[in-house]
Amino acid sequence: MTQAAFPDLDVAHRMADAARAAILPHFRTSSLTAENKLDGGFDPVTVADRAAERAMRAVLAELRPDDGILGEEFGTKPGTTGRTWVLDPIDGTRGFISGTPTWGVLIALSDENGPFLGVIDQPYTGERFCGGPEIASMTGPLGERPLQTRATAALEDAILFTTFPEVGTPEDRAAFERVSARAKLTRYGTDCYAYALVAAGQVDLVIEAGLNAYDIQAPIALIQAAGGMVTDWQGNPAHNGGRALAAANAEIHAAALELLQQT
């Protein structure tokens, strides 16, 4: 589907381009510093996070001034159209300050039914994953290709990802371990990149907890467009964050969900 046929995608590309330009001058530089936003823990934010969100908001002010915005760094701007752009300028700031290329820019467009357009952009590797009505594709160093999730049905054949080894609470961790014990391979620490890999047909499951809406809405739309599904741990919509289960298909989702819900 062409960008002209889906103008919202063109707006998302403009925002992703603006975020790339704002972020890359700071990546892997010795002068980069991070502030801690969290009392009693570590939740970093950098000048690159704030610059990228400002750049994306500037694009929206020009092209979609009446739409709402929900952004990690600068909060909510009400709109009048019933549509909200949900922005995470750098998902995975811990990885960003560590120099790993697994962070990303998250852009979602949502209405009363939830997110229907999602972009995960990795500026350093030049990869951009896009999903929406009649589109599921990525561009990268090897060009453009369609996105399609895997058909893995058995947990014993599944590749499972999560960002933090503790996942969330001790109860969250125990539930995750029940799935991990059955999976073929479990990997950690890739933030939003793991969701992009589900859409790209490389990974079967991502299980996380403690998410915000801006962490998960872009992955939801992207993975759904590629043939997968994302819910909370009860099988309900995960649009508002919390616990999330992203799966390549309904069969592997059901198998993981059954174990997550055991007590």
DSSP 120-138: EEETTTTEEEEEETTEEEE
CA distance 13 to 258: 38
Do residues 220 and 176 make contact, with C-beta atoms less than 8 angstroms apart?
no
* Contacts of 65 by beta carbon, 8 Å cutoff, 6+ apart: none
DSSP codes, 158-215: -EEEESSTT-SSHHHHHHHHHHHTTSSEEEE--THHHHHHHHTTS-SEEEEEEE-HHH
Q: Provide the pLDDT confidence category of residue 4 given band limits of 50, 70 and 90.
A: very low
- Amino acid 1: pLDDT: 39
The answer to whether the Cα torsion of 195, 245, 57, 75 is positive or negative is negative
Tokens for 54, please give them: 């400002």
CA distance 171 to 254: 20
Average pLDDT over residues 7-22: 97
9: left (phi over 0), alpha (psi -120 to 50) or beta: alpha
CA distance 199 to 248: 7
CA distance 207 to 185: 13
Q: Provide the pLDDT confidence category of residue 250 given band limits of 50, 70 and 90.
A: very high
Tokens for 256, please give them: 């993981």
Tokens for 192, please give them: 């939003």
Judge whether residue 147 has pLDDT over 70: yes
Name residue 119's amino acid. Answer: V
Query: Measured over all CA atoms, what is the biggest interatomic distance in the chain, rounded to whole angstroms?
Result: 51
Average pLDDT over residues 117-130: 98
pLDDT digits (tens, 9 = 90+) for 18-75: 999 999 999 999 888 888 876 667 668 899 999 999 999 999 999 999 999 999 999 9
CA distance 42 to 204: 29
Alpha-helical segments (H) within the chain: 7-23, 47-63, 93-98, 170-180, 192-199, 213-225, 250-260
The residue ranking higher by pLDDT, 4 or 148, is 148
Name the nearest CA neighbour of 129 among 109, 146, 111, 142. Answer: 146
Judge whether residue 240 has pLDDT over 80: yes
Do residues 167 and 208 make contact, with C-beta atoms less than 8 angstroms apart?
yes
Judge whether residue 2 has pLDDT over 70: no
Do residues 187 and 160 make contact, with C-beta atoms less than 8 angstroms apart?
yes
Judge whether residue 238 has pLDDT over 50: yes
Q: What are phi and psi of 205, to 5 degrees?
A: -140, 145
159: left (phi over 0), alpha (psi -120 to 50) or beta: beta
